[in-house]
A and B are shown apart, each in its own frame.
Chain A
Amino acid sequence: MKESKVEFTVNGEARCLGVAQDVLLLDLIRGNLDLTGTKLGCGTGDCGACTVLIDGRPVNACLVYGAECEGSEIETIEGISQSRAGIAIVDEMIGADAVQCGFCTPGVIVTAYALLKLNPGQVPDDSQIKKALAGNLCRCTGYLPIINAVRSAAAKILEDDVI
């Protein structure tokens, strides 16, 4: 199978990979790059477990071909959870008991990070949080602790000015 060279950055690090047709960004992340924090949940863009950021926007990596990422900046949970804002979100998720089985959690954190990063200087209200996270399914928590966690993370980030 013919491969083309794709250059992009992942969590700030420049990468160059040979990518065959129909190989998904999700496959590259989990396979070639061995970053398994991004999960395969459904493969059809319905659950959000594979959420990563491409050029700052949250996307389902299961619906993006690796080749499409030429020249893009990819951020995964591994990178985001090291940032100061990401740490705040992780801390609040844990504190709010919003992590049960944890499978949806990386995707939730990536999306929440994007929400807060793209709306700096404000604490989102519940309807904004719900709209942003509607594409992240969780079967364990019933969502209420997640809403609380994102709200308090936003407040903390605002206070500490870390985004």
Chain B
Amino acid sequence: MHDTYVRPSTIGEAIKLMENSDASVLAGGTDLVSMRAHGLDKGDCLVDLKHTEGLSGVSSDNGEIRIGPCTCLDDLISDAGLCANAVTDGAALVGGWQTRSRATLGGNICRASPGADTLCGLLVLDAKFVLISSAGQRTIDAADFFTGPGKTLLLSNEILKQIIVPEHPGSSAYARFTYRNAMDLSVAGVAVYLEMRDGLCVDASVAVGACGPTPLCVPDAARALIGTTVNESALQAASEAVVSAAQPIDDVRGTRRHRLHVLPTLTQQVIQLAHQRSVDAKA
């Protein structure tokens, strides 16, 4: 009878353990504990990756920011090497301080809740996820990783090894609409990346969350910004594109109608925030 709780010291040990179909990854636990209490995860062996070498921490190398999946959100937010960006904006909104002390970026990604607050930022920053198993390693673009509510391309014997975020010359931001100022799950979320040069937007990326089965990239919104001064009409066009791309439903947190209603203002607010950041960064 194998152990019911294991702390692999190395990634090698971890992926060996994951060959057991009864193994469940335990990172922050803020989702997994609830899931197991409700019988939604029945793994016999909890593989605690928090102490596994190489899976925590933030570093930068060769134009890429590398984030260990077991980096807790609080550490991510306060990492000195990162400037405010769409991912840290999202991380700062997850739950309360108690949640962020444990919840990890990797957990937020792999749980793949459509409204999860770090996901839109990862999309607009072209994040890549390195997955590893005994069969080898592969890298998947964030934009391809999420396949449905709670569903990803991660195989049952794979673990998320690293999150790679290419360094970007511009700035990004994320904000969400909720009823309360804290502790709510997102009703609608938008992330925007902008690169400005001489007052013109030369690159952009927009994603919307909690308004579809997965976070959604909105290339039309990006196109509406590129080549403009990010003026009133560009903002308008971008938010219309987001509204068109969104596929919100009625659920316990909000109605389809209201989500579509708040998206324009929210989108414009986030674009302006990203824009202000890029202006400040240059200053």
Contacts and interface: CB of A to CB of B under 8 A. Distances in A.
A131 B97 contact: yes
A34 interface: no
B254 interface: no
Contacts of A63: 29-30, 33-34, 102
B50 A68 contact: yes
Given A21-B4, A45-B34, A46-B183, A60 B99 contact: yes
Nearest to B43: A21
B5 interface: yes
Contacts of A58: 97-98, 101
Nearest to A19: B5
Interface string B1-42: 101110100000000000000000010011001101100000
A111 interface: yes
Contact of B4 (A2, A51, A60): A2
B95 interface: yes
A72 to B, nearest CB: 11
B26 A65 contact: yes
Interface stretch (A79-87, A97-105, A132-140, A153-161): A132-140
Chain A at the B interface: mostly helix, strand, loop or mixed?
mixed
B95 A135 contact: yes
B98 A59 contact: yes
A54 B98 CA distance: 10
Contacts of B102: 57, 59-60, 63-64
Interface string A100-137: 00000000000100100000000000000011111111
A135 B97 CA distance: 6
Most chain A CB atoms below 10 A, which of B33, B37, B46, B182:
B33
Nearest to A67: B5
Interface of A: 2, 4, 20-22, 24, 43-46, 48, 51, 54, 57-60, 62-65, 67-68, 70, 111, 114, 130-137
7 contacts: A2-B4, A45-B98, A67-B48, A130-B182, A134-B183, A135-B183, A137-B183
In the A-B complex, the 3 residue pairs with the closest CB atoms: A135-B96, A134-B182, A21-B4
